[in-house]
Structure 1
Amino acid sequence: MCFEKNCPFCNPRQDREQHIVFENETCYFLQHNREQDVLEGSGVIVPKKHHANAFELTAEEWNDTYELLQKAKNYLDDRFSPDGYTLGWNVGEASNQTILHSHLHVIPRYNDEPLAGKGLRYWLKQQGNKRGK
């Protein structure tokens, strides 16, 4: 379904460290071994069709993303018992999107983390992030 030869999300089975936890018609929920050391239980929901960012998803892909998000939460709650979640889309280089295939980060959070209580906006609203004009 995806034709981007070097895209890790178009070809999830080519990386032995990446696991398809589950999928539906248009999307995967993936976990990568490399991410588990610090971000225990983390994964991404990606459309099977290559889209550069979330703004390009079809209505069906949005619905299937929602379906997998609910399934991922149940799976992660049962397996890891997190205290919360950080969910996020990076779109474009300025937001640190390093893989140019749309993906929703699903990151379980735990009260005993050194950065517990620090979510997506914490880093963005620091005074050092203020734009110079």
Structure 2
Amino acid sequence: MKSVCSFKFHDVLIGSGLIVPISHRENVFDLTEDEWNTTFSLFKEVKALLDENLSPDGYNIGWNSSSYAGQHIMHAHLHVIPSFKDEPYAGKGIRYW
């Protein structure tokens, strides 16, 4: 787990993870402008790290906002999932994860 400012990056699946603000924000729409900027900065660092270590063919990136949209943990978090052309879910999109 890497801590950057008031955010953490958590590994969830091999090579994938979550960017989570430490301050409670129920969903993405509750983030402050500074939190958006920090999320983007950390996202770029995470992508560079994953590109260097895994060389994925693409990425699935996503926020779920509300239980009706698939949010099961009511704390804002950004999914970062590297994708590979030879995996079972290749080309399926984020809903399959």
TM-score (norm 2): 0.91
Deviation at 1:23, TM superposition (A): 2.2
Q: Report which of the two structures shows the higher radius of gyration computed on alpha carbons.
A: 1
* In structure 1, C-alpha distance between the alignment counterparts of 2:34 and 2:70, rounded to whole Å: 26
**AA partner of residue 23 (structure 1):** S
Determine whether 1:91 maps to 2:65.
yes
Does residue 69 (structure 1) correspond to residue 43 (structure 2)? The answer is yes
Shift, 1:120, TM fit: 3.3
User: Taking every aligned residue pair, what percent have the same amino acid on both sides?
Assistant: 47
Report if aligned partners of 1:29, 1:44 keep a CA contact under 8 Å in 2: yes
Report the equivalent of 1:81.
55
Where does structure 2 lack aligned partners over 5 or more consecutive residues? none
Q: After superposition, where does 1:28-67 map in structure 2 within 5 Å?
A: 28-32=8-12, 36=13, 40-67=14-41
Count, aligned residues: 96
CA RMSD of aligned residues (A): 1.4
Moved over 4 A (4+): none
Larger RCO: 1 or 2 (CA < 8 Å, sep 6+): 2
Instruction: Note if contact 1:23-1:68 (Cα within 8 Å) is conserved in structure 2.
Output: no
Distance 1:103 1:66 in 2: 12
Give the distance between the partners of 2:79 and 2:73, measured in 1 at CA. 12
- Take 1:25 and 1:105, find their aligned partners in 2: how far apart are those partners? 18
| Other structure's SS at 1:86 match | strand
1:29 CA drift (Å): 1.1
Structure 1 segments unaligned to the other structure (5+ residues): 1-19, 124-133
User: Which string of whole-angstrom CA distances, capped at 9 and with x for unpartnered residues, describes residues 108-128 of structure 1?
Assistant: 00000122111137x7xxxxx
TM superposition score normalised by structure 1? 0.68
